[in-house]
Chains A and B, each alone.
Chain A
Amino acid sequence: MNRYPLWKYALIVVVLLVGVVYALPNLYGEDPAVQVSSSRQPVDAALRERVLGTLRAQGVPFRSAELADGRLLVRMADTEAQLKAVDVLREALGPDYTVALNLAPATPAWLRAINARPMYLGLDLRGGVHFLMEVDLEAALAQAEERYVDDIRGLLREAKIRYLGIRRGADGIEIAFRDAAERAHAAERIRGTLQGLELAERDAGGVFLVARLSERERREVMRLAVQQNITTLRNRVNELGVAEPVIQQQGEGRIVVELPGVQDTARAKEIIGATATLEYRLVDTEHSVEEALAGKVPPGSRLYRTRDGRPILLKRRVIVTGDQIINAASGFDQQTGSPAVFVTLDGAGARRMLAVTRENVGKPMAVVFIENKVETRVVDGRKVRTTRRVEEVINVATIREPFGKRFQTTGLDSPEEARNLALLLRAGALAAPVQIVEERTVGPSLGADNIEQGFRAVVIGFVLVLAFMAVYYKVFGLVADLALFVNLVMVVALLSMLQATLTMPGIAGIVLTVGMAVDANVLIFERIREELRNGNTPQASIHAGYEKAFSTIADANITTLIAAAVLFTFGTGPIKGFAVTLSLGIVTSMFTAIMGTRAVINLVYGGRRLKALPI
């Protein structure tokens, strides 16, 4: 009695081996490393040679270099060499490459070959910044409507269809016509060209055509707005030189940004959180600024101020907006050698720019930088968010010749200014304003403390339970202790395999599973004791103990899993971590506490004549 078939032992040994192997990477430390990546240049073997050549030439010692996921990771001997290497490489590679400090897991090659990696530590354990940003989708939709207004205007003009007026109303774009025949004509044209619009007729107070974004178009606009923000954020984060940043969409209009190891949150926020857009406008040279200041602003113009506070009069009509800018880079003018900013526009922007500049050679053009500052106010006990626009002219330049897709802005005082302008132009290329709605920053010292304290709590709790079980259930207790240890190894192995993020609440989840994992064994052992008390033989008691406790254990664990699943579904970051470790712990404990202990006990006591059990 109480013998396990060989295959069960084999299964347990295999699971155990896999668990140990995949938990193993966590025992090795991390190497200081330097990471080189680029969004513009290829990261390949040639770059590798160049980087290593530079390091050799400068006498910076390194261990090895590997190319993976489009980045080059150079492992350094120590942190001193790491810091030196960053300086040397930034100097040598120039602004096209991002050189960042990183920590590379020191996992041996044979483990890396089977994809065994250490657990991924959350920001609360390794330190860093977590931002949750919200994209203002309403603004994105408004912008899209604005673009359609321009398109419709152009379309009708081109088709020589007369209309009385066009404006954005409460329920869409309203176009007024003189009679129904013109309206029908226009509707036909708009339907044929602008598929993203849904048209409706309205006859109250005039002959109107109301164009609204179709549901599909709305979704597309929102999707693109989030997507473009993610792309822009990624570029900005690259400028910060962060290794392994996480930028992900969350829900419909939110973006998570995680920057491990970043300390200077003020700078990170400045670069990431600047919710800005841009507009290129012509300068109104026909009217005087003085008169405008006195209150007589000409109808087609608006009064702006430059960064240093000087007033300037600009035309109301926008030539190009920030979302039409594909790229902006600083550099030097090839002919004069003076600092310059090179701008690239998308197709639609290029056409508009060409049309406008062709007619306005010799006239000045201005770049308006618009920052959206979002504030939350309490009005009548309810929280209301308002966006305040701060607009300023960051650059005025004369149009020398007509240009379209690519152009350069010169006349900047210094390379520094050129860099700043390029950064601002890129920063302004966001489709819709974003706002930080959540921030969690953990300093590196706290991260280290959290690991240490969490680890200590796990160890102390673990040892207490081990001791208690051994004293209380003797040999059986020791077997349960062994199972508990294996359980811990398996939870770590699973977390490493899944590359789930380990957070402080996650550690709490592990600690809790340690406490609860023994529950299955307690149930079984108490049952065995009971059977013995009822006068059954030791072998029969072991058998009955495992048999009868099983359904209870299953019921109890399934209900806990239900709670964990609910936590996972409704929780955010840290709570999810807790739910994940708790669920993993429950599943593995079912295996170790039932099958694992049974195997050991069968091996020790199975098939023998026993008078008493050490329980």
Chain B
Amino acid sequence: MQILGRTTRIDFLGRRRIAAVVSGLLMLVSLVSLLAQGLVLGLDFTGGTLIEVAYPRPVELSEVRQRLAGGGLGDVVVQHFGTARDVLIRVAPREGLASADVSTRVLELLQEEGGGPAMRRVEFVGPQVGEELAEKGGLAMLYALIGILLYVAFRFEYRFALGAVAALVHDVLITLGFFSVFRIEVDLTVLAAVLAVIGYSLNDTIVVFDRIRENFRKMRRGSALEVMNASINQTISRTLMTSLTTLLVLVALFAFGGEIIHGFALALIVGIVVGTYSSIFIASPAALALGVSRSDLVAPKREEAADDRP
């Protein structure tokens, strides 16, 4: 069985202007959303307390709120988590409240009488730790990009490296933009997913670049654009196939992995869709726009150097 029976001849690069407009718009929307409303940062970054409890019966949120009202906890968010029996309680960090005691207080309030819920999970992150994590996360992203830039520049050529990084920035921006636009919470696992997307999207891009380098050596004739087009066409079935299998697994993870892993799976799903698109429509056109030519990748022959002698 084959998705694409023969080597296709689609003019991918001919559509690069349309792609640039589409990507530009998506990036603009992401950027505006990120600047205007930012990300819904999870507890990992903001600090605070999160308590997940399971009731033996479906419970009204108002009932839970009422119980917590008199506890002097301040800013409390109560919501269902998955089912009507599971409740998630978030308490913002607040002055005058010894933060490590908050979870104890909440559980006491909920379990005061019989029929109370069972504790499923408690997470408390001090504000200090949260700030450190946010800082570290940003740094991690930066270092990953620099490391990759160096490796690709070393293996290929700096314009390819810039093309690859342009695609990565594109992917990260749109993935984060997606989380910003739809107000989905970003926690530590989402950050990990975004970093994994960087690795994955690069994977795709490298495969295409590899083929471009090979074809520059093989196809003696043909412009850079034609060589790139041919390379993308030759690798397109692999690109789609790999993305498809990875997406299969991720959809399984999203559907069956439980609530905790939702953000992680979603970030990867979005990232891989965007990453696959960018490795076709962004990375190579960007390298082309920077002026990559055959001589940049094919080592000059020895005789040419000898010709310089009088």
> Once bound together, how far apart are the Cα atoms of A334 and B129, in whole Å?
50
Partner of A533, one of B6, B123, B124, B133: B6
Mark B234-267 against chain A: 1 for CB-CB distance below 8 A, else 0: 1101100110111111101101111011001100
Q: Which residues of A contact B188 (CB under 8 A)?
A: 571-572, 574-575
Q: How far is the CB of B215 from chain A (nearest CB, A)?
A: 12
Q: How far is the CB of B174 from chain A (nearest CB, A)?
A: 18
> Once bound together, how far apart are the Cα atoms of A610 and B111, in whole Å?
73
Q: Which residue on A lies nearest to B138, using beta carbons?
A: A570
Q: Which parts of A423-464 form the interface with B (CB within 8 Å)? A: 435-443, 445-446, 449-450, 453-454, 456-457, 460-462, 464
> Once bound together, how far apart are the Cα atoms of A526 and B240, in whole Å?
11
Q: Which residue on B lies nearest to A378, using beta carbons?
A: B95
Q: Which residues of B contact A504 (CB under 8 A)?
A: 260-261
Question: Are A454 and B1 in touch, CB under 8 angstroms?
Answer: no
Asked if A222 is an interface residue, CB under 8 A from chain B, the answer is no
Given contact pairs A376-B93, A457-B256, A562-B199, A437 touches B264 in the complex (Cβ within 8 A): no
Asked if A560 is an interface residue, CB under 8 A from chain B, the answer is yes
> Once bound together, how far apart are the Cα atoms of A449 and B86, in whole Å?
13
Q: Which parts of A96-127 form the interface with B (CB within 8 Å)? A: 124
Question: Are A512 and B93 in touch, CB under 8 angstroms?
Answer: no
Given contact pairs A566-B195, A574-B188, A461 touches B140 in the complex (Cβ within 8 A): no
Q: How far is the CB of A250 from chain B (nearest CB, A)?
A: 11
Question: Are B144 and A453 in touch, CB under 8 angstroms?
Answer: no
Q: How far is the CB of B36 from chain A (nearest CB, A)?
A: 21
Question: Are A265 and B103 in touch, CB under 8 angstroms?
Answer: yes
Question: Are A438 and B124 in touch, CB under 8 angstroms?
Answer: yes
> Once bound together, how far apart are the Cα atoms of A202 and B151, in whole Å?
56
> Once bound together, how far apart are the Cα atoms of A555 and B2, in whole Å?
26
Q: Which parts of A549-563 form the interface with B (CB within 8 Å)? A: 551-552, 555-560, 562-563
Asked if B77 is an interface residue, CB under 8 A from chain A, the answer is no
Q: Which residues of A contact B202 (CB under 8 A)?
A: 556, 559-560, 563
Which of B13-21, B203-211, B221-229 lines the interface with chain A? Answer: B203-211
Q: Which residue on A lies nearest to B143, using beta carbons?
A: A566
Q: How far is the CB of B284 from chain A (nearest CB, A)?
A: 15
> Once bound together, how far apart are the Cα atoms of A574 and B248, in whole Å?
24
Question: Are A558 and B199 in touch, CB under 8 angstroms?
Answer: no
> Once bound together, how far apart are the Cα atoms of A438 and B101, in whole Å?
12
Given contact pairs A373-B98, A516-B246, A454 touches B257 in the complex (Cβ within 8 A): yes
Asked if B126 is an interface residue, CB under 8 A from chain A, the answer is yes
Q: Which residue on B lies nearest to A460, using beta carbons?
A: B252
Question: Are B258 and A453 in touch, CB under 8 angstroms?
Answer: yes
Partner of B253, one of A441, A461, A567: A461
Which of B61-69, B114-122, B293-301 lines the interface with chain A? Answer: B114-122
Question: Are A522 and B249 in touch, CB under 8 angstroms?
Answer: no
> Once bound together, how far apart are the Cα atoms of A330 and B101, in whole Å?
29
Question: Are B246 and A563 in touch, CB under 8 angstroms?
Answer: no
Question: Are B200 and A560 in touch, CB under 8 angstroms?
Answer: yes
> Once bound together, how far apart are the Cα atoms of A465 and B1, in whole Å?
15
* Most chain A CB within a 10 A radius of its CB, from B6, B100, B124, B255: B100
Asked if B136 is an interface residue, CB under 8 A from chain A, the answer is yes
Question: Are A559 and B206 in touch, CB under 8 angstroms?
Answer: yes
Asked if B37 is an interface residue, CB under 8 A from chain A, the answer is no
Question: Are B245 and A518 in touch, CB under 8 angstroms?
Answer: yes
Mark A263-274 against chain B: 1 for CB-CB distance below 8 A, else 0: 101100100010
Given contact pairs A437-B129, A445-B120, A533-B7, A567 touches B140 in the complex (Cβ within 8 A): yes
Q: Which parts of B55-110 form the interface with A (CB within 8 Å)? A: 93, 95-101, 103-104, 107-108
Question: Are B126 and A376 in touch, CB under 8 angstroms?
Answer: yes
Question: Are B125 and A511 in touch, CB under 8 angstroms?
Answer: no
Asked if A43 is an interface residue, CB under 8 A from chain B, the answer is no
Q: Which residues of B contact A456 (CB under 8 A)?
A: 256-257
> Once bound together, how far apart are the Cα atoms of A115 and B140, in whole Å?
36
Q: How far is the CB of A129 from chain B (nearest CB, A)?
A: 8
Q: Which residues of B contact A265 (CB under 8 A)?
A: 103-104, 119, 122
Asked if A578 is an interface residue, CB under 8 A from chain B, the answer is yes
Partner of B241, one of A269, A439, A522: A522
Asked if A377 is an interface residue, CB under 8 A from chain B, the answer is yes
Q: Which residues of A contact B245 (CB under 8 A)?
A: 465, 468-469, 515, 518-519, 522
* Most chain B CB within a 10 A radius of its CB, from A450, A511, A558, A574: A511
Q: Which residues of B contact A472 (CB under 8 A)?
A: 1-2, 241
Mark B187-222 against chain A: 1 for CB-CB distance below 8 A, else 0: 011011001101110110011001100100000000
Asked if B171 is an interface residue, CB under 8 A from chain A, the answer is no
Asked if A508 is an interface residue, CB under 8 A from chain B, the answer is yes
Mark A355-391 against chain B: 1 for CB-CB distance below 8 A, else 0: 0000000000000000001111110000101000000
Asked if B137 is an interface residue, CB under 8 A from chain A, the answer is yes
Asked if B147 is an interface residue, CB under 8 A from chain A, the answer is yes
Q: Which residues of B contact A437 (CB under 8 A)?
A: 125-126, 128-129
Asked if B268 is an interface residue, CB under 8 A from chain A, the answer is yes
Given contact pairs A437-B129, A450-B258, A508-B253, A443 touches B203 in the complex (Cβ within 8 A): no
> Once bound together, how far apart are the Cα atoms of A11 and B261, in whole Å?
38
Question: Are A505 and B264 in touch, CB under 8 angstroms?
Answer: yes
- 3 A-B pairs with the lowest CB-CB distances in the bound complex, closest first: A563-B199, A515-B246, A437-B126
Beyond the given A134-B126, A507-B257, could you list 20 further A-B residue pairs with CB under 8 A, ordered by the A residue number? A376-B93, A377-B96, A435-B100, A449-B258, A453-B258, A454-B258, A457-B252, A461-B248, A505-B264, A508-B265, A512-B196, A518-B242, A519-B242, A522-B241, A523-B207, A523-B238, A548-B214, A559-B151, A559-B199, A567-B195
Q: Could you jot down 26 A-B contacts, CB within 8 Å?
A: A124-B260, A134-B128, A263-B119, A376-B127, A436-B100, A443-B119, A446-B52, A456-B257, A461-B249, A472-B1, A472-B2, A505-B189, A505-B192, A507-B257, A508-B189, A511-B249, A515-B248, A516-B203, A523-B238, A529-B2, A530-B234, A533-B6, A556-B202, A562-B151, A569-B143, A575-B188
Chain B: residues with CB nearer than 8 A to chain A? Answer: 1-2, 6-7, 52, 54, 93, 95-101, 103-104, 107-108, 118-129, 133, 136-137, 139-140, 143-144, 147-148, 151-152, 155, 188-189, 191-192, 195-196, 198-200, 202-203, 206-207, 210-211, 214, 234-235, 237-238, 241-242, 244-250, 252-253, 255-258, 260-261, 264-265, 268
